[in-house]
Structure formats: C-alpha cells, structure tokens
C-alpha cells in the first residue's frame, strides 16, 4: 500500500507520449472500480472479516478504505486480496475532507444507517462532470423511516427504530442510489421493493453477494428488486472476487481501434460490454471472444458513428469520452449525445487543442473526421476525459504531455505500464 505522501507526490505526475503508436499483445484487465466501491461499503453489514479478491489498485479504492479506517474499521492486504474487518467500526460520521475527494463515499450512508441507526455524511459537493445530487438516495431512505436533515454541509440521518422495508420507486435510474438502498434494505425489517433500479453489472454483483450472504433478493439484474431484510441481523459474507472492469476494458479496446492494433484483453467479461462492442463493430472493428478474453481486430478505416449515452445495458456514459476521441479518426461525421451528465464534454476543448474538429451544441457533440491530431500539452479534467486524452495522444504526431493525471489514477490501475506492456512508448514523469 502506498503511503499518503507518495499519493500526494503522484498528484504531480504527468504522462508523456512521443507520437503515433502501433500496439500489440495482451492486457490483463483489473477488477471493477465501480463494483469494488459498493462492495467495500457492504462490509459494514458483515459480522465477520470480509476477504475481497481482485481489488484494483486505484486511488478511489484507497480513499474508501481510508474512510472506513477513519471510522474505526481495519483492513489489510494479504497476497492478492484485501481483508476488511468492520467489527471495530464505531464512528458514524464520514468527514468532508475525505468525502470531497470521492463522492462515492455516499455509499457508506445506507449501510451505516442500517447498522447503527444514525449516520452523518458530508454532502459530496460539486463534481467536474455535473452537479450529481443525492436527492434520490435521501428520499428513499426517508421512505424507509429515516429522519434526514442537512446541517453545515452534512447529511444527518437517524433511524432510531431501524429501517422498515417499503416500496421505493426511483424517479431516475441511479447506480449508487440503487446500491445504497439495496444495502439499507438488507438489514431493514421486512420487504423492500425497488422499482426503476439500476441494472449495471456492478449492482448485480452487489445483489448476488448479499443474496449469497442470507439476504433474499429477487429480480437481480432487472429493474425491479425485491429484498427481504434481516431486521438488523449482521451478515456472514464469504470471500468473493470483484468482476472485471468493463470501462477499463472498453478503454483498451478503443486503444486498439484508434491505433489499428490487434490487442487481446484477458480477465474480461464480454457480456458486460455488449453496447460498446456493438458500436466498435459499427465503426469497423471485429472481435474474437472467449469466456474471459476479447481480441480486437481493428479496421483500416474507421467509420463514423452515432452514440447516445444511457443507463445499462445501453451505451455507457463512462465510455463517451473515449469514443469521442476515437471518432476524431473516423472517415466522416459522428454525433455523440450525453444524456446522463450535464457537463461531461470537458475533454472536447483539450482534443480541439490537439487539432480535433468538434462542435458542441448543448449535450450533443458533432465530431468531423478524419483529423490528424498533433501532440500538445493537455490537462486532464476528470477520470474518463483523461483516458480520452491518452487515446488521442497515441495517434497524435509529436509529443503529448498529459498533466493532472491524478484524475486517471482514480480509476485506471497502472495504465502507463499496461500500455508499455503492449509496446507503447508512453512514460510517467514528475512535473
Ligand atoms: C455511477 O455514478 C458511477 N460511479 C459513474 O462512474 C457513472 O458515470 C454513473 O453511475 C452513471 O453510470 C460509481 O459507480 C462509483 P447515478 P452515480 O446516480 O451513481 C442523477 C466513473 O467514471 N441523480 O447513476 O453517482 C445524476 O445527476 C464514474 O467511474 C439524481 O438526480 O450516478 C445523473 O444525472 C463517473 N439524483 C443520473 O442521475 C440522485 O440522487 C445518474 O447518476 C442520484 C443521481
């Protein structure tokens, strides 16, 4: 585990590429960040030490583990797994200094409230890609009997008589909102039915593990989840392995497509990537797929594409920036509409500085290809925008320096090393 200071030092790193790359070989995909976060929060519901395999080595995981240890839990890394023990967790206030660095900290609200009957979590505050409210989380918890108030920037939640199962209908599909309520419902009294639940693979894995731990859940993978709570009884949770990161995998598939390189991804589940694979096929790529590998056979000419981001199983918003970079290399005009977040086009201005020809009109980006990109100094603004800049740098003429890559470190495990492993000259340097 890196110390906090080395984490700070890594803040000032940047990535340098030298220009057009051709890649080849195999990349091992890490565990899913967005599955790991709710599953780490889920350990708050356990009476035993929980062993988690295949956790990705990314900043957001370190942040959430640090938050749990600030609350009194303990964790240690043994070989390739983390063992989290929340039996010593006594604090129920998740403080601003940590929550502001990772809004997914809100995932501790449901479990802590369900277990202890009270919880304070700092409001996450704004985020680069959008306002990202948590009103749906709070409304659902109130419906389950919690008293919620907002004081001095904190959500204060109490449920002195415990949470009661009930019918929850989400006005919008919310991934962490669904995870939060599933975890709260796990320890509630009686049955909770969640309608309009998120169906992302990361939510599915959370439900599957809770179901295997004695919380009867029906409708897993569908928009209607029925959860029988244990009425406050803590769970025994057996060791489990985090599913592969479908967004990391999609990002490397785009690396293969944009550099016209044949790449094989290992430890990946193609079933979680149907919409992404379909769009890459529309753009000309072909694939060889086995139960845990995907090989991309890229086309010489990339075709333009129309993309609308929507909830799973439709095309994921977390792949929008990467496809926008890829679309700059397509022969023709691509249209990319972002429907989930109000400000998720910050990569556009940086790509334009590399020569991309893109016009923005509200939530719709029109990308005129093919443009030869030129290397430049560019700045990462958010996690997935950073990976879009890496993809553009792999096909730009001349040197590109990508600054503020702490954004990248939040969700990509050893991206520079993984690309070096398939022949890229990309290197990580200190500012
Ligand atoms: C999760 O964020 C992911 N993060 C995001 O991935 C991902 O982009 C997003 O889902 C959508 O797929 C994690 O899983 C840790 P939402 P989340 O609640 O749960 C609105 C990445 O790159 N909304 O599904 O915060 C919200 O504003 C990250 O890995 C409300 O209005 O997203 C958005 O428009 C970025 N009120 C929409 O719903 C609420 O209470 C979907 O948000 C909650 C959400």
pLDDT in tens, 179-238: 999 999 999 999 999 999 999 999 999 999 999 999 999 999 999 999 999 999 999 999
Residue 291 sits at φ, ψ, to 5 deg, of -55, -30
127 counts as catalytic: yes
Q: Is the pLDDT of residue 336 over 60?
A: yes
Query: CA nearest 27: which of 322, 407, 410, 296?
Result: 296
The pTM score is 0.96
Percent of the chain having pLDDT more than 70? 97
Probe target for ligand 1 pocket from 134, 176, 385, 413, with the most ligand atoms within 8 Å of CB: 176
Band (4; pLDDT cuts 50, 70, 90): low
The answer to whether residue 38 scores a pLDDT higher than 70 is yes
* 26: pLDDT strictly greater than 70: yes
pLDDT at 2 over 60: no
As beta bridge partners, residue 430 has: 13
Q: Which atom of ligand 1 is nearest to the CA of 198?
A: 24
Q: What is the DSSP letter of 128?
A: T
Q: What is the pLDDT of residue 183?
A: 98
Q: d(Cα 288, Cα 265) in Å, to the nearest integer?
A: 10
pLDDT number for residue 397:
97
Residues 6+ apart with CB under 8 A from 417: none
Percent of the chain with pLDDT over 90: 90
Instruction: Categorize the per-residue pLDDT at 100 as very low, low, confident or very high, splitting at 50, 70 and 90.
Output: confident
Q: How far is the CA of 138 from the centre of ligand 1 (A)?
A: 15
Q: Please, which pLDDT band fits residue 5 given cuts at 50, 70 and 90?
A: low
Whether residue 7 is predicted with pLDDT greater than 70 in this model: the reply is: no
What per-residue confidence (pLDDT) applies to 132? 82
Over residues 115-141, the mean pLDDT reads: 90
For residue 431, pLDDT over 90 is answered with no
**26-30, 65-69, 109-113, 122-126: least confident range:** 122-126
Closest atom of ligand 1 to 138 CA is 40
CB neighbours of 188 closer than 8 A, spacing ≥ 6? 114, 144, 162, 163, 164, 165, 227, 229, 231
* Minimal-distance CA residue to ligand 1 atom 18: 174
């Amino acid at each position: 585990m890196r110390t906090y200071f080395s984490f700070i030092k890594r803040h000032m790193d940047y990535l340098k590429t030298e220009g057009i790359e051709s890649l080849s070989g195999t990349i091992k995909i890490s565990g899913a960040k967005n599955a790991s976060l709710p599953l780490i929060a889920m350990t708050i519901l356990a009476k035993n030490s929980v062993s988690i395999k295949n956790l990705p080595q990314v900043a957001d995981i370190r942040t959430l583990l640090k938050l749990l240890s600030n609350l009194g839990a303990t964790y240690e890394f043994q070989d390739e797994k983390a063992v989290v023990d929340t039996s010593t967790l006594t604090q129920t206030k998740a403080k601003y200094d940590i929550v502001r660095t990772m809004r997914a900290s809100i995932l501790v609200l449901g479990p802590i409230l369900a277990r202890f009957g009270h919880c304070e979590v700092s409001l996450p505050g704004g985020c680069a890609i959008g306002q990202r409210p948590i009103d749906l989380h709070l409304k659902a918890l109130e419906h389950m009997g919690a008293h919620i108030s907002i004081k001095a920037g904190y959500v204060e939640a109490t449920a002195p008589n415990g949470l009661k199962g009930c019918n929850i209908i989400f006005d919008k599909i919310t991934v962490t909102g669904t995870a939060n309520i599933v975890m709260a419902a796990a320890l509630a009294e009686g049955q909770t039915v969640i309608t309009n639940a998120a169906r992302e693979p990361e939510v599915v894995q959370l439900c599957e593990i809770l179901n295997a731990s004695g919380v009867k859940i029906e409708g897993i993978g569908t928009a209607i989840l029925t959860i029988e709570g244990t009425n406050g009884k803590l769970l025994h949770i057996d060791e489990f392995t985090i599913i592969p990161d479908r967004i990391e995998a999609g990002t490397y598939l785009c690396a293969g497509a944009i550099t016209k390189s044949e790449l094989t991804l290992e430890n990946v589940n193609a079933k979680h990537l149907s919409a992404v694979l379909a769009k890459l096929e529309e753009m000309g790529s072909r694939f060889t797929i086995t139960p845990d590998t995907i090989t991309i056979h890229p086309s010489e000419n990339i075709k333009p594409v129309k993309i609308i981001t929507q909830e799973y199983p439709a095309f994921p918003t977390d792949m929008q920036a990467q496809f926008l970079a890829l679309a700059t290399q397509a022969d023709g005009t691509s249209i990319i509409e972002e429907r989930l977040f109000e400000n998720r086009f910050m990569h556009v201005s940086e790509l334009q500085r590399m020569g991309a020809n893109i016009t923005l009109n509200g939530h719709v980006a029109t990308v005129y290809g093919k443009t030869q990109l030129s290397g430049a100094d560019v700045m990462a603004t958010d996690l997935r925008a950073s990976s879009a800049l890496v993809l553009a740098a792999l096909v730009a003429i001349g040197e590109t320096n990508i600054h503020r890559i702490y954004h990248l470190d939040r969700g990509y495990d050893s991206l520079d090393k993984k690309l070096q492993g398939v022949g890229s000259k990309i290197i990580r340097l200190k500012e």
